[in-house]
């Protein structure tokens, strides 16, 4: 299969590497001038839970700043930051042709409206099971052996089945979400809860290192739970649990288990230098339109400014 990954972000790069190793031809579309900046290799330091191995290699990566008129792709993997989604979709529209476009982004608000310019059956929604970031040309990350795949109808569509097969054949377990919009919003809220603490602490590493800040993240999630309901969705099992369990207890649990300093999840988060704030701002504004107060989020967002 010919696969195009939009951008050279931490998530897309890890999946591009995995798909290339599964026998596919993988290109990466980047902005003009980026090839000179990036070079043609990535220094990988990622933990692959499919094999339970730490991958350390200099990987030759195929970057493109232009897509040839006669070039066709079977799959376009779109995994960009939420503030980049609108612009990225405009670019993808130019060369998508009949490719299946896999919307693989952390984007929780009005997902279907974002892809309104594409034929309804061309877009497949999902969510990655990976994390990490770049330090220079070094990519530190973690890639779990599963990912989320949206199912729009009573059964998987032809394109959804196509995506499932590509990733299943590459060794990933596919978790089907029959209401992917609800799943994405719940995750967007959880992500914004951490971002709010990053705004105050200065880095993901600082938050992952502190059981107090991880506990504050729980309180942020509780503040946003009425917002999830006001959007017409149900809080998922995790958000329900975090509305019941003591925040200090959850913070300690996350610090000692999920983000244990010797573990790959902590190391991946420490590599994440993404400039946070966009999702926090989006949720604040959207919540206000629905009459939901978000004082904790606002204090964090305003403190950063």
Per-residue pLDDT tens for 207-260? 999 999 999 999 999 999 999 999 999 999 999 999 999 999 999 999 999 999
Query: Scanning the structure block, which residue is given the tokens 């200065």?
Result: 202
**Burial of 191 by CB count in 10 Å (0-12 exposed, 13-18 middle, 19+ buried)?**
middle
Distance CA 297, CA 220 (A): 7
Q: To the nearest whole number, what is the mean pLDDT of the chain? A: 95
Per-residue pLDDT tens for 263-288? 999 999 989 999 999 999 999 999 99
Per-residue pLDDT tens for 18-54? 999 999 999 999 999 999 999 999 999 999 999 999 9
């Amino acid at each position: 299969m010919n696969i195009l990954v939009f951008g050279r972000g931490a998530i897309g790069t890890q999946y591009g590497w995995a798909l290339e190793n599964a026998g596919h031809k993988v290109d990466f579309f980047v902005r003009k001038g980026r090839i000179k900046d990036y070079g043609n290799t990535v220094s990988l330091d990622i933990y692959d839970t499919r094999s339970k191995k730490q991958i350390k290699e200099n990987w030759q990566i195929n970057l493109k700043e232009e897509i040839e008129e006669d070039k066709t792709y079977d799959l376009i993997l779109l995994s960009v930051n939420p503030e980049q989604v609108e612009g990225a979709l405009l670019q993808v529209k130019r060369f998508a042709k009949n490719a299946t476009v896999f919307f693989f982004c952390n984007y929780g608000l009005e997902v279907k409206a974002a892809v309104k310019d594409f034929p309804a059956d061309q877009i497949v929604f999902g969510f990655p099971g990976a994390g990490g970031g770049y330090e220079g040309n070094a990519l530190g990350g973690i890639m779990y052996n599963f990912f989320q795949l949206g199912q729009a109808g009573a059964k998987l569509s032809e394109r959804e089945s196509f995506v499932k097969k590509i990733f299943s054949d590459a060794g990933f377990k596919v978790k089907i979400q029959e209401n992917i919009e609800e799943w994405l919003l719940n995750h967007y809220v959880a992500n914004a809860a951490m971002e709010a603490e990053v705004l105050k602490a200065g880095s993901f590493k600082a938050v992952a290192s502190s059981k107090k800040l991880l506990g504050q993240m729980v309180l942020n999630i509780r503040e946003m739970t009425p917002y999830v309901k006001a959007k017409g969705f149900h809080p998922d099992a995790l958000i329900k649990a975090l509305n019941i369990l003591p925040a200090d207890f959850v913070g300690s649990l996350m610090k000692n288990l999920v983000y244990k300093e010797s573990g790959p999840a902590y190391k991946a988060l420490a590599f994440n230098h993404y400039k946070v704030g966009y999702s926090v701002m989006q949720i604040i504004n959207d919540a206000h339109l629905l009459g939901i107060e978000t004082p904790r989020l606002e204090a964090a967002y305003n403190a950063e400014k």
